[in-house]
Structures are given as C-alpha cells and as structure tokens.
Amino acid sequence: MTGTPTHCPYCALQCGMTLTPGDGPPAVAAREDVPANRGGLCQKGWTAADLLGVPDRLTTPLARPRRDAPLEPCTWDEALDRVAAGVSRLRAAHGPDAVAVFGGGGLTNEKAYQLGKFARIGLGTSQIDYNGRFCMSSAAAASLRAFGMDRGLPGPITDLGRSDAVLLVGGNPAETMPPFMRHLADLRGRGGALIVVDPRRTATARAADLHLRPLPGTDLALANGLLHLAIAEGLVDEAYVASRTTGFEAVRTVVNAYWPGRVERITGVPEPQLREAVRLLAGGERAHILTGRGGEQHAKGVDTVSAFVNLALALGLPGREGSGYGCVTGQGNGQGGREHGQKADQLPGYRRIDDPAARAHVAAVWGVDPDVLPGPGRSAYELLSALGTPDGPKALLLFGSNPVVSAPRAAAVADRLDALDLLVVADFVPSETARRADVVLPTAQWAEESGTMTNLEGRVLRRRRAVPPPDGVRTDLEIVAGLAGRLGAPGKWSTDPAEVFEELRAASAGGPADYAGISYERIEREGGVFWPCPDEDHPGTPRPYLDRFPTPDGRARFVPVEHRGPAEDVDGRYPVYLTTGRVLAQYQSGAQTRRIPALADAAPGPFVELHPDLAGRLGIEDGADVRLSTRRGSATVRARLTGDIRDDTVFVPFHWPGEGSANLLTNPALDPVSRMPEFKVCAVRLEPAGTSEARAGECGEDAS
C-alpha cells in the first residue's frame, strides 16, 4: 500500500482510502483492507481531495469592523482577540450562558471532546449542542431506553452479509452510503432477504426482495402491525423474551389493536405485503432490523424506533450473534461526536451531565471543582431559536455545521443568527452560515490533520495527515487552544490530537462509551477498535449485547408505543405530504460538495420528485419550475416526474441554499424525548411557478 492510509471525510461508513500527494490535489485510492468499503468508494469519496484546493478556500481569518460592514481579512491575533473580548464583555453583562457553542458530527473525537470541555470550563456555559441532534438522536434515545446503551450497528458490518434477512426502514444507502450495498448484496447472494420500507422506490428499494411503501410518518403503526402478525403466527421467541427482556406483556396488549386491516388503512401498505415481510424477517436464523433517517426524523421518532426495537426483541434478535437492531448513522463521526461531550446533556464517555458521579470523574480529569460544571443546556433547534432573544445567548461559536441551510424552518434560524451580538464560525469554506458571521476562522481539512473517528459500527479509526494545511490556516484544536488561553481557562489545552486523545481516554474511563483501552497504536495495529474498551488488555466490543444488556438488571426493555399522526397533517390548503432527504452526489448542506465540479455537474440544483398523476392534477410539467408552500415559507424548485413515489407525497433534497432550499418549508415540531425535528413529514401545496396563485403566495400570507 502506498500513500497515507486514512478515511473519507464524509459519511459514517468512513470508507478507507489512501492519499498520495502530487501536483494538485493528492490522488485518492480505495483501501481493500477496510471491511466497510473493501475497495469501493462513492463519487463523493473519489472527489473528496478536490475540496482541498477550491478557489474560495478560506486561508485567512476574516472579521467585520462593524456589524453592518463587509468581512475583511485580518491577522489571527486580531481575530482571536476580537472573539475573546466579545465573549468576555457579553459574559460580564449577561452571565456565562450568554455565549453558546454549536458543534458537528463531522468533528474528530478529539475536537468534539475539546469543544465540549471548552464550553463547560473555558466559557462556563451550559449552552452547547450540535447537529447530531438533527441526525440520529431519536435512534440514540430509543436504543438507550431499550438496551441501556446507544451504538450504531449491533456488530461488525460484515454481519449484515451473513444475515438471513434485513429489514431497512427509511434508509437509502444506495445513494447515502453506496459501498454499504456490497454487504446487502452479500446477504442476497447467500439467499437472504432484503426488505425496504420507503415511500419512494429508491435505488435501494429496487435492490430489495420486498418494498413496502408507507405514507410518511406511519412507520410506528407499521412496526406495531408487523409485531401483531408475528404474535398471531406464533413467531415470538418466548424463551428469549422470558430470559432476556422485561415488559413484553404491555407491548402485546398495545399491538393487539394493530390488526392488518387497520394497519393497511393507516400506512397504505397492503395486508399481503405485511404478512410477507413478517414471513421473510422471521424465516431464518439471523436477522437485522435497521433504521435510517426516514423512520427517525419525526416528532415521534423515538417511539417509532422503539416500535421496531420491540419487534426485534420479540423475534429474539438483539444480543444474538449476527443479529440485532441497528441505526445506520450519518455523519463521519456521528458516533464519536455523540459520545464525548458536545451534546447539551452529556459529558465525555457518554456520561450524563446531571449525574454527580460523572461530574466528579470528569472534573477531576479537567482539574476543576465539579461545582463549576454547568448543567444541561438547550437542544439544537431550541438553542438556535433562542439566539438573540432576551433570555437567549448573545454570542455563538460554531464549528462544523451550516444551519442556515440544514436547520428546520431555516429562514427563522437565519434571522436568529442575525440577531446575535457576535457570531463566530470556524470553517474551511465560506458556507452560507460563515458569510453571516462577525468573525470567520479558517480551519484545516481532513487530509491536513490527524485524529480519530468512530464509524457506524462503533469502530474507532485513525484519520491521518497526508498533506500540510495551507499557510494561514489553523486546526480546530489550535483555535480552541488560542481562545482558551486568551480567556484564562483552567486546565490543559493541547493542540496535539494524540495528547488530547490520551485525556479523552481518561475522561471516558468507566463511562458507557469507555475508550480507556484504545490507543493510536492499537488502532493502527488492529485496524480499528470497537468501544467499549475499558483497558489495554480488553479486546474491544464488536457485539455488545451477547451476554447481557447494559441495563441495571441486564435485560432489554420493551416500551409500549402508540401510533399518532404527523405534527402537521394535510388539509384543503396544504393537501400533499412533503418529505426531504438526500441525493448521491451532494452532502448535507452542500457547503463542501457544491464546490466540487464533478458533483455539482451530477446534481446541479434542487428539485421536487412527484408522481405524474399528482403533477397532472396540478398542471405541473416535467422540468418546469414549481412553487412549494408550507406554513413556514415557500421554495421554488424544478419538477422531476417519476412513478417511483406515492401520488400523495413529494420529495425534496435539502442540499441547496436560496430560493430552492427545502428547509424554508420544513416543520420544526420536536420529538419530546430526543428533540429531533420533523424533517420527514409536513403538509405542502404545489403550483406551477409564475401563476397567479403562486404569486399570491409570495406575499407570504401564510407565514406564521
């Protein structure tokens, strides 16, 4: 193997690649030695190095002399002094919670850890959260309440290929993680069955043995209906339920009312398909139930995931080797990003910030009194919508997210950002959010830094530096250390990722996400280590639940859950369901991928996928501009007619800013437990752009 072995900067599959410097961007090659991708990469991975030298790469700090003046280049000292002075002034005037921090699931473990520590003891603020709240927080909360622990997949990804059946709910890995499909191909090659649940016939659904096409937001009823059938057909693993779980009777009572005819009426999935799904899922020795964002990004996302976990438990899957429930996580470090303290209610090691023992442990590692640690803060959307309000933060430091494009009801979020006294953004490109900042700090990219990432399997991997960052650019760790020093923060603020990792190990020791036994050397030697790994002699934990669940009594918990409708249902004025998601060639807010020519050519702009029958009723032609309106706002995008979607539902990807931005439309209704917004269903009206109705809508009479 030549070149520097590392991993892709984008999604949670963390495909292995090597980088070989040359003229221009380093050459990317796919690694064969990483089980997740086994020599494959998607188009985003192949072109990832092109972002290193994009023409508008940020290479100098920028600051606005006044709130209404344009951003101008400045020195690092000027930029960091400006931030430190602003923070100190606002803290003195309004208290420590006047300053907020927003992080990202793409940050390495070391950066996420240091950012959480900086918020708690550098700024003394409780106001920190991150974009992972928008990602897998519902699956995390449901896993915690069932298993006492939250880790993406229940075992190595290669277990999927050896399974007899996989039920995938609301995930489209053919576009969102293409090399993941190799594992599903292995499954089918061995005669196993793939069942996909998605309102659209996606590329993933086309590769399935059975495709269930429910109405958006009805997966909970579907899951209860499948469990009803499993019970009726005697497929429950009674011995497992008796020895390894608690609470089944309450769930049995609830699902009794989800008979197939009723479930067909709620979901639109025909009864024979429900029966076929149960038959396939329970037909073999080993099976997996997996959820993606389609099932999770709902105001009842946690209960929906619980309903599928209940089904998995009744079939005896979790804790059986090569079987289980899993969440197909999202961002590069979606796993580690939620384990080490950038979430409002967490300390490193997946500890709870309101647990006195956890506070004492972490405070000792940080060299502070536990009493100085703040309590839990606001969740991501609640934090963003409090910015600049009388009781809310007056300053925001943002690392690794672009909420102007990716937050729900994004126009209102942009207004909140504009109401701040001080917005500071660290990024390597001028994202839509960075362009609104008072101070912009240019940071290093993945190929220019080292650290660790935890992939969707829970395997901790090494990110390695292959090229130096351009002149004028600092790493996120250097930025945090520069600010901590200026603010007189207690404790150590290393800029060396290896040193920060050593501290993270100590801080996580004894917690649920225990990294104490993981070292850079071990990761190199073993090709990654699965957490929890409490000491250096511990082999790591590829399959956590084989003997017992990490709950007080060692048993998994059933949770009875009932179906209810979406937070906003269709009506005469907004008669169609809107759902949102992704396409292959763009990543998230598009800040990175829209700048890469090959990807911009492959997916140049926003569109709405709609059924020809619906388009016909509305007088919308293929390729025409369509105006979409919801109670939050309007967007104009290109029509893409396809028979692959239900005729009562339309789909818009969220990768673009401006007038075609999906998040001008989305509903920020939050799940009561996870605080996940309802990205995946709301009520919309469509009309050809430029008609009188569409123009009337532009007056915003529905804005509420």
Ligand X SMILES: Nc1nc2c(c(=O)[nH]1)N[C@H]1C(S)=C(S)[C@@H](COP(=O)(O)OP(=O)(O)OC[C@H]3O[C@@H](n4cnc5c(=O)[nH]c(N)nc54)[C@H](O)[C@@H]3O)O[C@H]1N2
Q: Is 653 in the site for Mo ion (CB under 5 A)?
A: no
Contact positions with Mo ion (CB under 5 A) in 268-327: none
Nearest residue (CB) to ligand X, 25 versus 534: 25
Say which entry of ligand SF4, ligand X, Mo ion, none residue 104 contacts (CB below 5 to 8 A, set by partner kind): ligand X
Say which entry of ligand SF4, ligand X, Mo ion, none residue 41 contacts (CB below 5 to 8 A, set by partner kind): ligand SF4
Nearest residue (CB) to ligand SF4, 10 versus 240: 10
Cβ atoms 374, 120 nearer than 8 A: yes
Say which entry of ligand X, ligand SF4, Mo ion, none residue 45 contacts (CB below 5 to 8 A, set by partner kind): ligand SF4
List the Cα angle 442/447/453 in 5-degree steps: 100
Residue type, 667: N
Distance (Å, rounded) from C-alpha 389 to C-alpha 371? 28
Indicate the helix (H) or strand (E) that contains 649: strand 649-653
CB of 572 to ligand X, least distance (A): 22
Q: Beta strands of 261-348 (E only): which ranges?
A: 287-291, 324-327, 346-347
Q: Beta strands of 284-430 (E only): which ranges?
A: 287-291, 324-327, 346-347, 351-352, 395-399, 422-427
- In the chain the first and final C-alpha atoms are separated, in Å, by 58
CB of 136 to Mo ion, least distance (A): 7
Say which entry of ligand X, ligand SF4, Mo ion, none residue 639 contacts (CB below 5 to 8 A, set by partner kind): none
Of the residues 135, 144, 570, 662, which one makes contact with Mo ion according to CB under 5 A: 135
Nearest residue (CB) to ligand SF4, 177 versus 404: 177
Cβ atoms 53, 24 nearer than 8 A: yes
Distance (Å, rounded) from C-alpha 446 to C-alpha 460? 16
CB of 454 to ligand X, least distance (A): 14
Distance (Å, rounded) from C-alpha 401 to C-alpha 300? 24
Q: Which residue has the tokens 């303290």?
A: 341
3-state class (DSSP) for residue 5: strand
CB of 519 to ligand X, least distance (A): 22
Say which entry of ligand X, Mo ion, ligand SF4, none residue 666 contacts (CB below 5 to 8 A, set by partner kind): ligand X
Say which entry of ligand SF4, Mo ion, ligand X, none residue 175 contacts (CB below 5 to 8 A, set by partner kind): ligand X
CB of 173 to ligand X, least distance (A): 6
CB of 599 to ligand X, least distance (A): 9
Q: Is 330 in the site for Mo ion (CB under 5 A)?
A: yes
DSSP sequence for 428-457: SS--TTGGG-SEEEEB--GGG--EEEE-TT
Binding stretches for ligand X (CB under 6 A): 11, 104-107, 131, 134-135, 169-173, 175-177, 197-200, 202, 216-217, 219, 292-295, 297, 330-331, 399-403, 405-406, 426-429, 431, 443, 476, 579-582, 584, 586-589, 591-592, 651, 654, 662-663, 666, 679-681
Sheet with 451-454, side-by-side order of all strands: 451-454, 459-463, 529-530
Count interface residues toward Mo ion (CB under 5 A): 2
Whether the link from the prior residue into 532 is cis, omega within 30° of 0, is yes
* Chain centroid to CA 484: 28
Distance (Å, rounded) from C-alpha 610 to C-alpha 627? 13
CB of 317 to ligand X, least distance (A): 19
Nearest residue (CB) to Mo ion, 102 versus 501: 102
Binding stretches for ligand SF4 (CB under 6 A): 8, 10-11, 13-15, 37, 41-42, 44-45, 177-179
CB of 181 to ligand SF4, least distance (A): 10
Cβ atoms 410, 425 nearer than 8 A: no
Kindly list the residues in this chain that would bind Mo ion in the complex (CB under 5 A). 135, 330
